[in-house]
Amino acid sequence: ASFSLLCFRSPLVSPLIFGLLLQAPFMQPSPLTQPNFVLLLADDLGIGDVGCYGNDTIRTPNIDRLAKEGVKLTQHIAAAPLCTPSRAAFLTGRYPLRSGMDAINDYRVIFWNAGSGGLPPNETTFAKILQHQGYSTGLIGKWHQGVNCESRNDHCHHPLKHGFDYFYGMPFTLISDCQPTETPEMDRAFRRKLWLSTQMIGLMTLTAVLGRLTGLISVRWKTLTCLAGFSLLFFISWFSSYGFVRYWNCIMMRNHGITEQPMVTDRTTSLILRESISFIERNKHKPFLLFLSFLHSHTPLLTTEKFLGRSRHGLYGDNVEEMDWMVGQVLDAIDKKGLKDTTLVYFASDHGGWLERQEGKRQLGGWNGIYKGGKAMGGWEGGIRVPGIFRWPGVLPAGTVIDEPTSLMDIFPTVVHLAGGAVPQDRVIDGRDLLPLLRGTVAHSEHEFLFHYCGVHLHAVRWHQKDTGAVWKAHYVTPIFSPPGAGACYDRGFCPCFGEGVTHHEPPLLFELSQDPSEAKPLSADTEPLFDTVMRRIGRAIEEHRGTLTPVPEQLSVSNVVWKPWLQPCCGTFPFCWCDKEGDN
C-alpha cells in the first residue's frame, strides 16, 4: 500500500517541488540586488585619528565597530589632497583634472558660493545613475562643488542637478569665518595684503590733502578728489566680498532654498543629524542612497557643549569624538528600521589631516599616523591615504583587513554595479568595482597604477606590482617643508604644487611602500637593483595615462573662482541677504 501511495504521489509532488525550486530565485530577490547605500565622508580627518587605524587616545567606538563588522582598507587613496577635487573624483569616479576640477593656479578649491566654477553639468555622478535605477538619493552636509553658472538661480552645479533628489546642508565648506569668535581663515594672507594696500592708499590720499591744505604741495583739488574716489573704490572692490564672508559663504540650504544666511553654528550638528535620520525613515520602504558629508572635522571644529573637553586632544579630539557619536546615531537608525542586512555602509575621509592648521599652541588639524605629509600635499601618503571601511552583514566578511591599493574613485563603479546600473561608456572611468576584492573572490586590486596629482601637476605615481606584491612609488615633485625638516609648510599654511616652494627630482625619489610606508628611505640605482626597470615601467604608464587626457574647461581658473555678486545665493533682496527659517520654525 505504501509503495502504491508513494508511486501515486511522485508524479504530482515531484513536479510541484521542482517548480517551487525553480521559482525560488524569482520569489526571493538576490541579496546583492539594489541594497541601500549610506556613504559617510569625513572632512579633513587624518588616518591616524581613528582607533581602528592605530589611535589609542581619541575614542571612535562606532567607526571601530564598522571595521569590526566589515572590511577595513589600509591603502585607501584619495584622488586629490584637497576637498573640491577629491570630492569631484569621489562623485564621478574620475581623476578631477578630467572634469576640470583641479587647478593650474594656487586657487585649488572653490572659494565662493558666488563663483561660476563647479562640477560641470555634463559629468555623471553615481547619484544620477542611481536616480535612474529607482533610488531615492539624498545629500546631507557639505557640497563644495559649486552652485551657479550665469545667474543667481540657475543652480547648474547644485546637488539637485547632479542626481540628488534631496539636499540639506552647506553648498560651500565650513571655514573659521563662519564662527564670529574665530580668527578669519579664508584667504588670510591675501586679505592682509589688501588691508595693507588700502591703508597705504588712504595714507597717501590723506597726506596729499593735508599737504594741499597747508600749502606744502601744489596739487589740484580735482586730482585729490579722483585720488580719494580711487581709494574708496579700491576698498569697496574687495571689502564687499571679503568683508562679508560669513554672509556670502556660510549659508545652509534645503534643496534650492536658503534656510540660514548666515548659518547658526550652534545648531548645525543637530540639524544635520536630524535630517540624516529623517531621510532614512522617509525612505525605509524603497532603495535609497544617503550621502552624509560631514562638516566634522574641518575648522572651526563645530562641537556641541556635551562633547567639549571630553578628549585628550583638545577641541580637535572633541570634534572627532562627536562625529563618531553621529556615526553611531546613523547606524542605530539603520538597525532600528531593520535595514542593517540590506544596507552597505561606507566610511572614509576626503583626504588627510591638515598639519599646518594651528592657532597659537592649539593644534586644530588632524594626525596622519606614520605617514609623511598631510592635506594639500599631492604626493606624500599623509595627504592622500585615508580610512576606508565597508560594512554589509552577510555579504562582506566581518573583521577583514585588505592591504591593496584602492581609491575613493572606486565608490562610483561599485555603487553603480550594485544598484543594477551601468558605468558610462563615453568617458574614461578611473575607479574600479571593489565588490570582488571586498568579498574575497579576488586577491588583488584591479589598480596597477595610481597617479597622484597636486592641482594639475603630477607629483607622484604608485605601481602595484601584483606578481611580487611590491608597491613602488615614484615622486617627481615634492613640496619644500618649512622650517626644514618640519614635515609640513608651516610658514605658508598650505604646501604649494609648483614654483619656488617645490623640488623637482631627477631621478625621481623611489620608495617601496610595502617595506617603507613612511617614505623615509628613498631608493636609488645603487641600493635597488630594480630601480631602472621600475622607473622605465612607471614612465611608460605616465605616457599611456596622459594619452587618455583631453582638454576641458578649467573650473578653478581665476575667472571662475572670483566672487561675482550676480551669482550670490541670497535669502532676500541682494545685497540685503539674511534669514533664519530654522529659527522661525
**For cell 591744505, what's the residue?**
213
Tell me the C-alpha distance between 41 and 33, whole Å.
24
DSSP-derived secondary structure for 282-316: HTTTS-EEEEEE--TTSTT----GGGTT-SSSHHH
The answer to whether 144 is a known catalytic residue is yes
**CB contact at 8 A, 264 and 583:** yes
Helix or strand holding residue 130 (H, E): helix 126-132
Measure the CA angle with vertex 141, ends 82 and 135; round to 5°: 105
Torsion of CA 392, 326, 315, 59, to 10 degrees: -50
Residue type, position 581, single letter: K
Asked if 522 and 516 count as a contact pair (C-beta separation under 8 A), the reply is no
Name residues whose C-beta falls within 8 Å of residue 193's C-beta, 6 or more positions apart in sequence.
none
Per annotation, catalytic residue among 7, 52, 132, 144: 144
- Per the listing, cell 635597488 goes with 528
Q: How many CA atoms lie within 13 A of 491 on its CB side?
A: 9
- Grid coordinates in use for 410? 572606486
- Find the catalytic residue in 52, 76, 83, 285: 83
DSSP letters for 118-129: -S-TT---HHHH
DSSP line for 358-395: EETTEE-S---TTSS--TT-SSSHHHHEEEEEEE-TTT
First-residue to last-residue Cα distance in the chain: 79
Alpha carbon distance 349, 293 (integer Å): 9
Which cell numbers hold the place of 213?
591744505
- Mention every residue, 6+ apart, whose C-beta is less than 8 A from residue 378: 80, 81, 384, 452, 453, 454, 455, 457, 459, 460, 477, 497
All cell numbers assigned to 492: 605658508
| Share of the chain residues as helix, strand and coil, in percent rounded to the nearest 5 | 35, 20, 45
Query: What 3 state SS string does 96-111 have?
Result: HHHCCCCCCCCCCCCC
Grid cell digits, residue 155: 543652480
In this structure, are strands 136-142 and 288-293 parallel, antiparallel, or unpaired? parallel
Q: Is 571 a catalytic residue?
A: no
Q: In whole angstroms, what is the distance from residue 509 CA to residue 525 CA?
A: 11
Active site residues: 83, 144
